[in-house]
Structure 1
């Protein structure tokens, strides 16, 4: 199925400024591990690369919070993250870290090569500076009011409520998160990578050459390319990170998104002396597993860097997942609204496969999905216990009870159509699972495994060997019917172990132990075969693979989640830029404090008008944005608003709203937005329109 000689799989480098949660697992680490385990079972040459990103703003923010050095932070969280991945069976060939010397050398050499080739633009610009702390401010050190949705806690690079990409200049009332001072502009020099020079190449490579990429990935890339690329600074003012390898650059480091993806290369160098076989030979298949918030970096910026440098392979696929919410709310590390992996392992010892199952079965592959503890319980009890585990256990119990604890023979002379059909299902299921895995459709692949188990249950139920056993005194030949049923069920159990292994590795190993076979049986070429267990071979006693989750366990987890929720005032510091599927959320549990006093003249500058929404539609490839046509009486305006998660287009057409009519136009997803709809958010974070009680003429002023 593959023309590639070797595979190189990377999973996004998580920031070493906190533990990992289940959103990280669902976003990229679990699908990456499933894919890698499958490829290993195919006996393909594959390397699975991971590591901690230990540079950048989030690290220094966490260090300030805890009153320690950045190095102490990364040492602490790198160890915790690595342990969590190990406990969840994420089978990296290497889990490295960007603070290692080999990484600093590799990243610096990469930068120097581009510099020596004259590919950077050197610019002196004005950047925001905190005069109280004498610090140049990275975008995430600046917060203010979003000009699109009025979120008062937007960051200088992005609004987490409406999803808009921002710059600090666009924020209303910007403040430094270090001292709450108003930032000022100061001159500084940096090196910019001219992405626009690679725009046409990227269009050909992605838009024409990779139409097979997932819709969310392809669509986001197309949106960026259609909007036009611009030069992007590849250095920052900071004392923490990879030093810029040029003279007279004290206090300047490489931009974390320049430095971090090179971590995949440096980690491979640590892993093997043949690292360049995996990175520099055209018969390597490079696959990046990431969350959707990392798409632009892995599909546009990093490939352009590799192209500019020369000599490196480019990603064949970047199967990014969407976000996983928790109990109906977005994951927020600052509010502690998350299910932390290290805590889950403590609460559910030996339960890694249960969580792997639920996160894959409910994976956010095409849209944001929601994890709830009630669904966790239902899936474990109904699917793993009552379907998969039930079939495997019944096969072992009946084999010991009716066949002397040994694999019975298959008697061809008494086989019927049901027997033959069940045996044929082995190869059919294998092909379906294989196709889905090759296409990165992990939910579909897992579904096919569970379907095969379900068919086994129905087959056994139809054959009823326990009923047939009651007729043996009258008709001893009926033992052949029992033998056939249990022979087929046991061969099916062996197939299920192979097919389930990429998803639930520890469960598959338990099944092998009970069948008394070695791990070599898990090689993919054995899947679909009907003679995996030898006739007459003794198998171990039955033992349950899974136990049911009781109501009190679920209730305790929900209570723990709610009890740990941090109030908004305590969560004022900015969160990490997400790298692996985490969606930071803005808390709205309590009314916000009144902003600083303004003068009447400031308010008088606003031109507020009443308008009517005459048309509304979702913006393609943007889950949070609606494109509105608003009749202002004197003209109809196009306004892009980040309210799609709160309102359906058909429900708001005809509604009167208040519009900031003199807001400067701004392009969003390639659409020019001419105004802003005024909204209010309640304590639960739900948005409400501010509109007249009685209908009035469109264009009427609000004062």
Structure 2
């Protein structure tokens, strides 16, 4: 597109069902904030919107856990999330919430428009229903045995033990979390968005129009979805918490959270416009607006496939880009609040920012490290030792050291004022450093505008490192020893000192501009030391060497950053281990309390039911890991009469090479289903030993492939 007239930037709405960790911060909020601060420095018309996602089963489940109401839950965590984001420098223009009346009105109007135009379809399906609770059950209200790994408490949308995405119909012996009873199937009518009718549009728009400017991880995931074939997706569900469906006779139905949540960007923009006496419509309807969605990879399908279809049908502009980050791990494991293996934003703020030796410098320390290791193209890892090294070896020893030395020497050698520059004494080192400033500006611009924030930040540090080398090579403190009869440096010596310090101070001012999108508190403190207003941070000023006027007095230096001590790192690692261990102990305690002395038998079945199962002996002839699925193996099994592909959740118990040639028992007449895009035709029978290790159920002696088991 041509130069945009305005920008609308969004970050994925976080669920208001609990605290969020620093992995969330690194994924969708910090990158967006850097981008927006850069645009503001360029004086662009930009609005940055976000808010709490306050509907869906996750909210009601958390309310049950805390023995309170969904409204109390969203009020509690909305306030926490809004405060945490502000404390860590995320500069939303508005942080809205989807429980607001304005959002309900906006989402209902959006649904009504699509429905009235015939873009939605109605289908009657059978869904799980709890007769005792007298309610239809959302995916997370159903648990059962995972068909992949055998875990007894898998949810209706995912098994948290093996990670497999599921549907309630795939669970073995499903039961309601509300009553504990086995749910029945009951007919219900819902509205669907027929995504399958828009595949041609999506293929062209994503895979052709944006093949050169979208991230490869986004393009790859979109292509995978499209290649598998899109299906109609329900936009309503039977719940009592959410945006009511605005259709007569749909009293017990609400808009599905995936449908109503992204519309929250629009309602947030409306509220911002009301608050500032602006018109919201150009930000969503004018093709000269550049819309950018910052998300994590688990939100790609919603923002790159589903929401664009909704926007196109509704007559809105489409996103120009959907920069998605991968996941950030923690100390060698996946970051997870539920498992206690995470660093919550709230905890970092309390442990570092709000401590006597904390403050804004520790906000920027976290922003620095999260940007430096951002999972822009692949998963990355946060370690406390890495955090310490980044702060001490880069922020303190390179950037902070340069600024401090420049100010100390300016006060010592130039009377605390900006010295003049003698053009006739300019040498190659001076010219090179001034050229480096201009080059750095151009490189940072390209990096930020193409969403490569790690590279942009690295350029700032690299320029500070060049400044340190320039200063060390010039050694003005040595030149100052060329003393005249008056006990002061000679005129020639002072001129050389002046040139060196003039360039060093102009570089310091440029570094303040360059670092501002990344570390805004640091830039603000540098402005204070230079006795200039924040307007100096305007991007147009970058690259110039007249930011600080000759003869202008500057304040005494203050340390921009402090070192992270070994004791702090050790304390955080110990805290992480204790939190994780405590949750495990609580889980084991709960499991022990809930587990009876004798095993629970499943519901009694008739012989005819058992007789329907066709068990066959087979031999595994090939095995390989399933890409991007740590717990799944793709097996090739010879059943004698045919060769089957079976996907099994046993990768944590067996290596592929170790099981080739093993005989197994297969449920041969199980309906096929796709897992990670692979059609699985059968199920391998497994047993669990006392230690929880899976073992193959197999004949004692070698048997012909295809032999029946009875």
2:441 maps to 1:430:
yes
Q: Where do residues 498-517 of structure 1 align in structure 2 (5 Å cutoff)?
A: 498-517=513-532
State the match for 1:567 in structure 2: 583
Q: Distance in 2 between matches of 1:178 and 1:441?
A: 46
State the match for 1:192 in structure 2: 192
The CA deviation string for residues 469-528 of structure 1, in whole angstroms up to 9 with x for no partner, is 233459722223322222222111111111111111111100111011111111111222
State the match for 2:624 in structure 1: 616
TM-score by length of 2: 0.88
More displaced, 506-515 or 295-304?
295-304
Q: Distance in 1 between matches of 2:508 and 2:689?
A: 53
Q: Distance in 2 between matches of 1:682 and 1:469?
A: 79
State the match for 1:277 in structure 2: 282
Unaligned residue ranges in structure 1 (runs of 5+): 573-586
1:44: Cα distance to partner?
Answer: 1.0
State the match for 1:329 in structure 2: 333
Q: 1:316 is paired with a residue of what secondary structure?
A: coil
Cα 1:633/1:229, change in 2 over 3 Å: closer
Cα 1:323/1:407, change in 2 over 3 Å: same
Cα 1:157/1:486, change in 2 over 3 Å: same
More displaced, 92-101 or 133-142?
133-142
1:296: Cα distance to partner?
Answer: 1.0
Q: Where do residues 394-413 of structure 1 align in structure 2 (5 Å cutoff)?
A: 394-413=405-424
Cα 1:401/1:678, change in 2 over 3 Å: farther
State the match for 2:502 in structure 1: 487
State the match for 2:645 in structure 1: 638
Q: Distance in 2 between matches of 1:645 and 1:317?
A: 37
2:484 maps to 1:469:
no
More displaced, 342-351 or 155-164?
155-164
Q: 2:293 is paired with a residue of what secondary structure?
A: strand
Q: 2:320 is paired with a residue of what secondary structure?
A: strand
Q: Distance in 2 between matches of 1:248 and 1:150?
A: 40
More displaced, 324-333 or 436-445?
324-333
State the match for 1:38 in structure 2: 38
The CA deviation string for residues 96-154 of structure 1, in whole angstroms up to 9 with x for no partner, is 11111111111111111112122222222211122332221101122233333444443
State the match for 1:13 in structure 2: 13
Q: Distance in 2 between matches of 1:16 and 1:472?
A: 68
Q: Distance in 1 between matches of 2:305 and 2:366?
A: 33
1:545: Cα distance to partner?
Answer: 0.5
TM-score by length of 1: 0.89
Q: Distance in 2 between matches of 1:207 and 1:14?
A: 28
Equivalent of 1:535, from 539, 550, 573?
550
Q: Distance in 1 between matches of 2:346 and 2:272?
A: 26
Q: Distance in 2 between matches of 1:403 and 1:678?
A: 81
User: RCO (CA 8 Å, sep 6+): is it higher in 1 or 2?
Assistant: 1
More displaced, 412-421 or 280-289?
412-421
Q: Distance in 2 between matches of 1:681 and 1:390?
A: 59
Q: Where do residues 80-479 of structure 1 align in structure 2 (5 Å cutoff)?
A: 80-160=80-160, 162-211=162-211, 212-272=213-273, 273-309=278-314, 311-349=315-353, 350=359, 351-473=362-484, 476=490, 477-479=492-494
State the match for 2:356 in structure 1: none
State the match for 1:581 in structure 2: none
Q: 2:144 is paired with a residue of what secondary structure?
A: strand
More displaced, 657-666 or 412-421?
657-666
Q: Distance in 2 between matches of 1:92 and 1:603?
A: 59
Q: Distance in 2 between matches of 1:647 and 1:426?
A: 55
Q: Distance in 2 between matches of 1:592 and 1:319?
A: 46
More displaced, 555-564 or 602-611?
602-611
Q: Distance in 1 between matches of 2:512 and 2:653?
A: 44
Q: 1:275 is paired with a residue of what secondary structure?
A: coil
Is the contact between residue 8 and residue 48 of structure 2 (CA under 8 Å) also seen in structure 1?
yes
2:683 maps to 1:671:
no
1:596: Cα distance to partner?
Answer: 3.3
Number of corresponding residues = 684
More displaced, 662-671 or 220-229?
662-671
State the match for 2:29 in structure 1: 29
Q: Distance in 2 between matches of 1:688 and 1:461?
A: 63
Q: Distance in 1 between matches of 2:479 and 2:521?
A: 35
Q: Distance in 1 between matches of 2:591 and 2:300?
A: 28
Is the contact between residue 637 and residue 646 of structure 2 (CA under 8 Å) also seen in structure 1?
no
State the match for 2:533 in structure 1: 518
Q: Distance in 1 between matches of 2:537 and 2:704?
A: 69
Cα 1:521/1:57, change in 2 over 3 Å: same
